[in-house]
Amino acid sequence: MIKRATSILAIAIAALTFGGMTSVASAQSNTGSADQQQAQQLMQQYRQKASQLQQIHKKTIAANPELAAEQEKFEKQVRKAVQDQGYDVDKGQQRVEEMAQKLQSGDLSDSERKAVMKDFQAERQQMVKARDAALQKPDIQAAGKKLQSDTLTAMKKQDSKTDQLLTDMDSLRTKLRAAMPNPSGNNG
């Protein structure tokens, strides 16, 4: 249940930090092996489930002003903690959006594209490092667990498909990990 709840938190944090990452990932090369194509299909299914879950989350937040306030407070708490780690979320978001636009423009040579992707990865690493440090703070962990629990309870009341979507996403995540072994060894 905790692992499932982290999916909800991940959606909230992703929305807070790097909303444009999906577009950058899709801007990468579309050529690949059968394994890559299978992984892309799994990713597409995963995104569809995540999108449905986000819609339920959005409806749940709209229907529960107290939950919306709790989420907003948590997001501010995380944002402040990330900034306390030395990472400016707003400027980072702006840099990522600019890089995504460059990648999607199609006007880049291979070397320019590689350079932008390298910059993107460096930006993402900075953000992840600051976010992970922020999320290690006990007060943020406690607030996050409470928000997860409150959000999941409300989402299940809002839409009975919530549990099935979370189960499907867990299954797809497992299949994705098997299809795309992460060379860094970090499957977080």
124 closest CA partner among 37, 46, 32, 14: 14
Q: Across the chain, which distance is largest between two alpha carbons, in Å? A: 51
Q: What is the mean pLDDT of the chain?
A: 80
**Is residue 185 pLDDT above 70, yes or no?**
no
CA dihedral 78, 140, 125, 94 (to 10 degrees): -10
Interval 72-95: pLDDT, tens: 999 899 999 999 988 988 898 899
Q: Which stretches within 85-182 are classed as H helix?
A: 89-105, 110-135, 138-158, 162-179
What pLDDT is stored for residue 26 in this prediction? Answer: 46
For residues 132 and 98, give the distance between their C-alpha atoms in angstroms, rounded to a whole number: 24
What pLDDT is stored for residue 85 in this prediction? Answer: 87
24 closest CA partner among 125, 89, 97, 88: 97
Residues 6 or more apart in contact with residue 4 via CB below 8 angstroms: 152, 166, 167, 170
Q: Is 137 helix (H, G, I), strand (E, B) or coil?
A: coil
Q: Does pTM top 0.85 for this prediction?
A: no
Reported as a pLDDT band with limits 50, 70 and 90, residue 32 is low
CB of 27 closer than 8 Å to CB of 104: yes
